[in-house]
Amino acid sequence: MSSSIGRPLRPALGALLTALVSLLTAVLLTAPQASAAPAAPVRVSAAPAETALARTALAKTAPAETAAAALTEVTNFGTNPSNLQMYLYVPDSVTAHPAVLVAVHYCTGSGPAMYSGTEYAALADRYGFIVVYPSVTRASKCFDVSSPQALSRGGGSDPVGIKSMVDWVTRTYGADTSRIFATGISSGAMMTNVLLGDYPDVFAAGAAFAGVPFGCFATTDGSEWNSACANGTVTHTPQEWGNLVRAAYPGYTGPRPRMQLWHGTEDATLRYPNFGEGIKQWTNVLGVSQTSAATDSPQAGWTRTRYGATGDQAPVESISLQGVGHNLVTGGMAARVLTFFGLDSTGPAPQPQPGGCRVAVTTSAWNTGLTASVTLTNTGTTSVNGWQLSFTLPSGQTITNGWGATYAPTTGTVTATNAAYNGTIAPGAAVTIGYQAGHSGNSGTPAAFTLNGTACTVT
């Protein structure tokens, strides 16, 4: 699939796409064994060189000089059978118990490329949710959406690693488990379908750009590529498509995630008939009629159809783009995804900001380490219900242990998220937390603290 997805199409890239598709038809599925990862998260200061072409109108719009938040790699996040990498974006404005969005890249892409080439990080700055960017390490840089392991809950391969990433974020940031979402482009769109099929109890909704239905790319010979599906010649009845999804998690009877599908009528990589097959599949899975509940044209050349309801959060929403090819993503589409998910202004509002706060911090240091005690006082007139205390560690310091809160990442700008027992701070009350850190000579204390985005007085 095209590495130019989400970027302007250039003739040279078109030739590259043709060669890449031919190559992928011969690629065998490989799942490298997980290797030992560094113990501490690594801050990513710049995206790899491959993402230079991805910096278009879709790129994150928050000015670099005003945004302290940055993309971070998280290692040792849990079971990871196919050696995926996990990249994380936590905005400075993150809400208490935030929603989580998994943004899945296209073939030949990466997590940092998806971060740089889409609008989700900028939207996270606005609405306070967390974005996870999984990244493939196998040679093709395509996600496994074809093997029997990938198409079964807990079966192994990429979906298991991505589920571990979600679990890590949920534990670390106290994320709202009812607001976990997935979106992706091309190979990432296929993975979005797979995640919603494998883990219907985890994901609330998905948005797939230029993908194929769950199970359409299935192969039995170890190949990553299914030409019949790519060419749009795999067809099933709605019931048959729905059965493929239900077979991924036998016996599951709970609610199913909603689905938003996007496709261009001139897609030459994953052809347009896959769009109709996807609608058949997800209307069946969600138990709604294939007769549309509402159809409109929110933009010239777009046909938006809703199934099962007429509102912004219908069970199934499809957007057909007339005359558009495979690299269909343009500016503003991500905002429409958030509307479907309920993560924009129509969704949960950010937590109320505290009226005031005060932080007192003391340290006890030795030659290579230190222990810090941090007392946070609510100086406002209303209770703080759910808190995150952010601060920047002095250069060379790395947190090795902590208590009273969960700390992430362990270097640079750190966010301490309340524990279950101390999430409420009444007016005039205080909580004390602490951490142990190693240092390379600078044993100083953080100079500034913010509580849920509000600056605190430091004493």
Q: Which of 176, 174, 177, 172 is nearest to 406 (CA)?
A: 172
CA distance 247 to 252: 9
CA distance 457 to 459: 7
For this structure, is 364 an active site residue? Answer: no
Query: Alpha carbon of 17 to those of 30, 120, 229, 268, 384: distances in Å?
Result: 21, 25, 18, 10, 53
- Cross-strand bridge partners of residue 372: 363, 435
Contact (Cβ atoms closer than 8 angstroms) between residue 177 and residue 238: no
Structure tokens at 313: 């959060």
Contact (Cβ atoms closer than 8 angstroms) between residue 224 and residue 142: yes
CA distance 233 to 216: 10
Contact (Cβ atoms closer than 8 angstroms) between residue 251 and residue 56: no
Catalytic residue among 146, 147, 152, 186: 186
Residue 434 Ramachandran class (φ > 0 left, ψ -120 to 50 alpha, else beta): beta
Most distant CA atoms of the chain, gap in Å: 71
Query: 162 Cβ partners below 8 Å, 6+ apart?
Result: 84, 102, 104, 132, 134, 191, 195
Structure tokens at 145: 């959406």
Contact (Cβ atoms closer than 8 angstroms) between residue 454 and residue 354: yes
Strand order in the sheet with 449-451: 405-408, 413-418, 388-392, 449-451, 454-455
- For the annotated catalytic residues, the residue numbers are 186
